Amino acid sequence: MNWREIEKVQPLTNIGTAGHVDNGKTTLVEALTGKWTAYFSDELKRGITLKLGYADCTILKCPECPEIESYTTEALNPEFLCKRCGSNLNVERKISIVDVPGHESLMVIMLSGATLMDGALLVVDASRNEPLPQTKEHFKALEIIGVRNIVVVQNKIDITPKDKIIENYKRIREFLEGTWAENAPIIPVSALHKINIDVLLYAIQKFIPTPKRDPSKPARMLIARSFDVNKPGTPPEKLVGGVVGGTLIQGRLRIGDEVEIKPGIAVKKHGKVYIEPIYTEVTSLKVGEVNVNEAYPGGLLGVGTSLDPALTKRDSLVGQMLGEPGKLPPTRQELSIEVHLFKHVVAFDENVRVERVKKGETLMINIGTAAVEALVTSVREGGTYAELKLTIPVCAERGMRVAISRRIPDIFGRGPPKWRLIGWGLVTD
């Protein structure tokens, strides 16, 4: 198998990054994939990730090298030979990596990205007193969304004294003790210098398996991005339809399929505004940089459509679902949820208690890739259940998980209130 053939292989697993800002998540993604996922102008100016980033990589294994040292994502082209010993490499699997923001003000985007993950790399900084606030918050976010397969990546060992690395390791191990991730491996690496990347790949293979999929179910895709890919000045006869990006969580998509996008768009009829689903045709499918005729669950996917590109530009369809017509969850602008709150706000080192949900307050909920403000219209059984009225409709069904955030002032008064993760819920009706 050569590189051209490998490029045609579709990824089977989505693995996300998580952790505090400046912990080197994007640098780690580059070490694994060779791609720098923060490419928007504001991201380059500020030096932080602001939107979800994506990159694919192929995990290769040398049959002759020692087990842990045998894993790599690099090979001598085009023969696929091991850089260490020159042996022929075996292809283990292809994965997609979702790079999420670590800044406290971008927690809503992180939660949207977490819904796409089958596993996660929790990136900590060996030179700092981890776990830092956003490390804790991201860890809770993974728990809420249901991501249970993680590898902890202890980054920046190249700039940290040995005793500090050991101290940092002990703190992280203590943080994980008694949690669902207490047996997760902690792998020391230098993402910048690609040190221990082989050990990390070994851990990914061992601790983040490819989930079982059911391709016979109706197609369902979570939309995380949407684009107008036409360049300014493109003549009308050369315009192409709008593109949506995300992950297929069940079923299959083929070029030529008719699909439905829900909740859809606002349509004015008889003086009233209605939200109506969008129907369109799949005109192209792209996995990474490769065009395919059929796509299945696992990995990140770009879907070309026959839609007017004005409907998809500037991420206007983020948070919606795409799938087989008539088979998607119902559109709701009111939700009933069972509420589960944390005891304390995990984003703060100090113990700031989480108050009960109250009637009349506004919350932020994440459901699928949608992030929506919601007014609490009623509370029952001491805050165990709540009725919510959403500012915009979402596609949701009974049993779906939601992440709940509340605007909480900074305890030091250093800025305006920010959305902080306070708990989770289940859609009950």
Q: Are residues 92 and 22 both part of a single domain?
A: yes
Q: Are residues 35 and 163 both part of a single domain?
A: yes
Q: Are residues 52 and 174 both part of a single domain?
A: yes
* Chosen domain end from 207, 231, 265: 207
- 172-227 residue pLDDT tens: 999 999 999 999 999 999 999 999 999 999 999 999 999 888 878 999 999 988 98
Q: Do the domain assignments include residue 302?
A: yes
Q: Which of 23-37, 326-340, 346-360, 398-412 is modeled with the greatest confidence?
A: 326-340
Q: Are residues 370 and 249 both part of a single domain?
A: no
pLDDT at site 78: 65
Q: Do the domain assignments include residue 368?
A: yes
Q: Which residues are 385's β-sheet partners?
A: 338, 380
Q: Are residues 143 and 160 both part of a single domain?
A: yes
pLDDT band of residue 40 (cuts 50, 70, 90) is very low
pLDDT band of residue 390 (cuts 50, 70, 90) is very high
Which amino acid does the sequence have at 399? G
pLDDT at site 50: 43
Q: Do the domain assignments include residue 214?
A: no
Q: Are residues 56 and 145 both part of a single domain?
A: yes
Q: Are residues 272 and 359 both part of a single domain?
A: no
pLDDT at site 417: 84
- 60-88 residue pLDDT tens: 999 999 999 999 998 776 678 898 898 98
* Chosen domain end from 207, 242, 260: 207
Q: Do the domain assignments include residue 14?
A: yes
- 115-157 residue pLDDT tens: 788 999 999 999 999 998 889 988 988 898 889 999 999 999 9
Note the pTM of the prediction, 2 decimals. Answer: 0.86
Find the CATH number of the domain harbouring 300: 2.40.30.10
Domain count, the chain: 3
In a 3-state reduction of DSSP, which class is residue 41? helix
Q: Are residues 60 and 180 both part of a single domain?
A: yes
Q: Are residues 304 and 391 both part of a single domain?
A: no
Exposure string (b/e) for 48-82, b if CB count within 10 Å is 16 or more?
A: bbebbbbbbbbbbbbeebeeeebbbbebeeeebeb
User: Tokens 């990730």 map to which residue?
Assistant: 49
- 418-429 residue pLDDT tens: 888 899 999 998
- Tell me which H or E stretch contains 87: none
**Quick check: 404 pLDDT over 90?**
yes
* Chosen domain end from 207, 233, 253: 207
**Quick check: 269 pLDDT over 90?**
no
Q: Are residues 156 and 227 both part of a single domain?
A: no
Q: Are residues 314 and 349 both part of a single domain?
A: no
Domain that holds residue 91: 3-207
pLDDT band of residue 48 (cuts 50, 70, 90) is very low
Residues in contact with 401: Cβ distance below 8 Å, sequence separation at least 6, in sequence order: 144, 145, 146, 367, 424, 425, 426, 427
